[in-house]
Amino acid sequence: MLDLSEFRSVYLEELDEQIQIMEEELLRVEKAGSAENGIQRLFRAAHTLKGSSAAMGFFKMKSLTHEMEHLLDKVRNNELQMTDRLTVLFFQSVDLMKILQQEIVQHNQEMSDIHAMTLLLANYMHEHEHEQLQVQEAPHSSKLVPRSAAKANELLSRLEAASSSGVQFKWVKFTLAADCGMKQARMKLIEMSVCETADLFCTIPDLSAEWDEPDNHRQLDCLIGCPLTTEELAARLEGLSEVEGIEIQECGMEQLQSELSPKKEAVLQEPAEPVIGDKTKAQTIRVNVDRLEHLMNLVGELLIDQTRMQQLDKDFRQQFGSNEATQELEQLSDHLQRTIGNLQESVMKVRMLPIEQLFVRFPRMIRDLCRTLGKEVELILEGGDTELDRTLIEDLGDPLIHIIRNAVDHGIESPEVRREAGKPAKGTLRINAAHEDNQVMITIEDDGAGIHADKILRSAAAKGMISQTEAESMTEREAVNLIFHPGFSMASKVSDISGRGVGMDIVRTDIERMNGLIEIVTEKGKGTIFKIRLPLTLAIITGLLVQLSGRTFVLPMTNVTEIVRIDPAMIKKVKGVPVLFIRNQVIPIVWLHDHFGYERSDHTKKHIPIVIIGRAEKRIALAVDELLGNQEVVIKSLGSFIGKVEGISGATILGNGKLALILEAGSIIKMNINSY
């Protein structure tokens, strides 16, 4: 039995990629009409998947892509028109492929029935075959010369350069086992292990080009440069699976030159091929996420040590004054700081992905939503190249999808209603991502009906979430923010689009878990904007250091909306609760001391530092004893023994080696909001 597990992950990655490409191209074709290279790309994706699915033994996927490929082939040869019906058929096929993909991922076998779909595709072909103007034999592709003149030249110059620096060339000839499955993939794996040991110049057959060898081809020749002796090399390359034999030959530069040159001439006589997307050496590599995670942890440790070192440096200078040794220490510490700063930035960058990754899911989703709901929505995606931590991108998916579904379902009205209201029939949904300081700002803006505060109040009162008197005393803002209340749902009927009554509450919790902030701005009849602010990364944040009763605490900067110093006389009381009037907002003041059971420090000071933290429209003013400034901090968990502590999300190690607890704004607000 052939063990395919090694190939499985490669196959699944490819599958994912190709399905994504197909979906994108289909959307483009649907929007802009068929463009030749779009069809070409679709065809290639179907073709690629057909081959690899067959090799992996996923025959349903194979037959499905086979039918698609067949149709696309006709389209690209202008024998068929790309009609709306055909596009829809292709969309349905891609959906089915996704289902199959899920089944392969979860159960390693295909379970869904594809018969109906293939029949539909085949029928379409059959029905439209008569319309064909002429049946043209597709010209047999002339891939006789995989190596173009440019490539031969490039190779030759690389060889010459290597030879002049004293590199010894060798031909390593692999013969695969006769029963080896997926020979191309196996050869790729061999190529990879050769690259680990030596400089690889070229392979025969060329693995970076399209595969057109017969199925029984099992010879792979690699030209390498390597200082090892033949025996050493043989020992290194031993033990590759499914390799029957390895033959290593020394080979001189002259020989290679003579081998390459005549070919070069032969190539030159041919009409020069346009070099489209000349496949250069891959500029990217795939790295296991765990390794990145580990790197990030190490950088975190370095960062902590470095802040400690700075502190020590300061102490030394105080103790011994400025002499040669302390100066050198200072220089060293400064240099380390710069280097670690760069290192941190680089590692963070490696973990960053463009938010595009998330955005690509939306066009299809909107298209489907519009079809089911009978609405027209123009989706505008902006700032797809905005980068943020990959864990954040993953966690952001669900909340964003939820907000978007809500916007299309409840926000944007049906075309008739919109026309009546004097708006264009087609609604607009704009999703924007941008960097703002050290944060990412994501806005989801629709030009729909807006959120009606009175409707929400009625619904909330009917559900018993608030009392009648509460409902009457609520401001519009407060009312709108009720949608974040657990168990609140606007939908009068539960649909599969939105409205399971768990929606916005979960969205907010998700965002807050990422140390983010979500806000709504809404105007009746004009539309709604959701604003999400997130830190760039989860592991290292900018924190505001504050002091409470002699203890240092860290507040994530993302939660801080304002820092002010106030005169104690500015504190007013509303219904016995100390509040602060600031910019026409009444903000309750909280002394964390009381929550944590510390003594409040004396109030004889002239000014009290106040940190205003926010969650949605709720603001809370934290009275602290002192502001100590902000600093990058590495978040560490308190561990399973301590577990969850209300108001605390973790701890960090400060420059002096001491620990500071990180405050969790969300739960602090929650703890206090109930009392107002």
Partner 1 sequence: MNHSAHEQYVEFGVGEENYAIQISDVHEIIKMQDITDIPNCPYYVEGVINLRGRIVPIISLRSLFAIGEEPFTKTTRIVVVHHKDDSVGIIVDRVNQVAVYADIQTPPERVGGISETYFVGIGIAAAGLVGILKLDEVLIRE
Among all residues, which ones are annotated catalytic? Answer: 47, 69, 406
**Cβ proximity to partner 1, 377 vs 660, nearer residue:** 660
CA distance to 101, 183, 192, 216, per residue, from 178 (Å)? 30, 10, 21, 8
Please, are residues 456 and 524 in contact by the beta-carbon 8 Å criterion? no
Residue 661 C-beta: closest distance to partner 1, Å: 7
Please, are residues 619 and 587 in contact by the beta-carbon 8 Å criterion? yes
Q: What stretches of 165-286 adopt beta strand conformation (E)?
A: 169-176, 199-204, 219-225, 243-251
Please, are residues 479 and 453 in contact by the beta-carbon 8 Å criterion? yes
Indicate the DSSP class of residue 79: S
d(C-alpha 85, C-alpha 215), whole Å: 37
**Cβ proximity to partner 1, 274 vs 597, nearer residue:** 597
Tell me the two tokens of residue 553.
């605490």
**Cβ proximity to partner 1, 432 vs 552, nearer residue:** 552
- CA 660 to chain centroid: 31
Token pair 């009205």: residue? 413
**Cβ proximity to partner 1, 99 vs 642, nearer residue:** 642
Which of 346, 247, 249 has its CA nearest to residue 302?
346
Residue 641 C-beta: closest distance to partner 1, Å: 5
Residue 390 C-beta: closest distance to partner 1, Å: 25
DSSP string, 47-62: HHHHHHHHHHT-HHHH
Tell me the two tokens of residue 332.
């060293």
Angle value at C-alpha 359, between 356 and 365, nearest 5 degrees: 155
**Cβ proximity to partner 1, 372 vs 637, nearer residue:** 637
**Cβ proximity to partner 1, 623 vs 653, nearer residue:** 653
**Cβ proximity to partner 1, 13 vs 301, nearer residue:** 301
Residues that bind partner 1 (CB under 8 A): 301, 304-305, 551, 595-598, 636-643, 645-648, 651, 653, 657-661
Residue 599 C-beta: closest distance to partner 1, Å: 13
Which of 277, 213, 225 has its CA nearest to residue 251?
225
**Cβ proximity to partner 1, 343 vs 461, nearer residue:** 343
d(C-alpha 521, C-alpha 445), whole Å: 9
Which of 78, 75, 90, 83 has its CA nearest to residue 22?
90
d(C-alpha 323, C-alpha 662), whole Å: 38
CB atoms within 10 A of CB 492: 9
Token pair 């041919």: residue? 270
Return the sign of the alpha-carbon dihedral for residues 456, 461, 466, 472. positive
Token pair 């899911």: residue? 361
Secondary structure (3-state) at 497: coil
**Cβ proximity to partner 1, 166 vs 643, nearer residue:** 643
d(C-alpha 542, C-alpha 554), whole Å: 9
d(C-alpha 300, C-alpha 297), whole Å: 5
**Cβ proximity to partner 1, 28 vs 595, nearer residue:** 595
d(C-alpha 148, C-alpha 270), whole Å: 9
Report CA dihedral (11, 14, 20, 26) to the nearest 10 degrees. Answer: -100
Which of 612, 446, 456, 474 has its CA nearest to residue 531?
446
Amino acid identity at 119: L
Residue 195 C-beta: closest distance to partner 1, Å: 37
